[in-house]
Copies of this chain bind each other. A is one copy, B any other.
Amino acid sequence: MDKHISSQFDAELNSISTRVLEMGGIVERQIQWAVQALVEEDGALAKQVLDAERAINELELGIDADLSTTIARRQPTARDLRFLIGISKTVSNLERAGDEAARIARMAASIAESGHGRRLPVAELRLAGELAATLLRRALDALARLDVEEAVTIMREDDRIDVEFNGFVRKLVTFMMEDPRTISPSLDLLFVAKAIERIGDHAKNVGEIIIYIVKGLDVRHAPIEQVESVVR
């Protein structure tokens, strides 16, 4: 992800980067499986997602430990330090996205068990889930290339997921009012939608991290128009 004069330092950075991308790949798959488990009422697949959570947690702990060791040993400054801080924040976002996948899987298991799935508007969430998983992968690809233009595009697209979420909540309210017996499983679905929306937020956060690493600017709370004018 980054070039450096010390080849040993380079090797350390590459090793860390590779594992972050590996972790990202696992999280992306977890999200896809969790949503699939929900839509297809596949309790066994939901359980598989929950079992794999441990691997993500272990990657997080391992990468974070290596980041501390690298900072202590290499004493990086400027962009190298921003890169390591950015990677640390990315790992935290990936772990939290993994938590959201686990939440979706728990809801999927609960809905599969209740047998209410057929009566619920689960299919609507398939697209939103795929959108969020794809956005997260694109964010990590952009991080690998340190591509600030793509980072801004990702930040913009997260807004689309938020709009989808609000629309879904409105539909769900109508749905529950028409048949109050669906209220309890509908709330499970609401938490799934919320988890998907949060995954989009994590992708957006990675976009902000890329801009921080490359430009040295912390754009976390800046309006998107301002971010665009800075980057382009």
Knowing A68-B82, A180-B180, A183-B183 are in contact, say whether A218-B173 is a contact too (CB < 8 A). Answer: no
Q: A78 contacts the other chain (Cβ, under 8 Å)?
A: yes
A2 to chain B, nearest CB (A): 16
B60 near A81 (CB under 8 angstroms)?
Answer: no
Q: Chain A, 160-197, contact with B by CB distance < 8 Å: what is the 0/1 string?
A: 00000000010001001100110110010011001000
B220 near A60 (CB under 8 angstroms)?
Answer: yes
Which of B68, B88, B92, B177 is close to A180, meaning CB atoms less than 8 Å apart?
B177
Q: Could you say which of A43-51, A69-77, A105-113 contacts chain B?
A: A69-77
Chain B residue numbers with a CB within 8 Å of A180 are: 176-177, 180
Knowing A71-B81, A81-B71 are in contact, say whether A187-B190 is a contact too (CB < 8 A). Answer: yes
A177 to chain B, nearest CB (A): 5
Chain B residue numbers with a CB within 8 Å of A58 are: 221
Contacts beyond the supplied A61-B218, A71-B71: 19 A-B pairs with Cβ under 8 Å: A57-B220, A57-B221, A60-B220, A64-B218, A68-B82, A68-B85, A71-B81, A72-B76, A85-B88, A89-B92, A169-B187, A173-B183, A173-B184, A173-B187, A176-B176, A177-B180, A177-B181, A191-B194, A194-B194
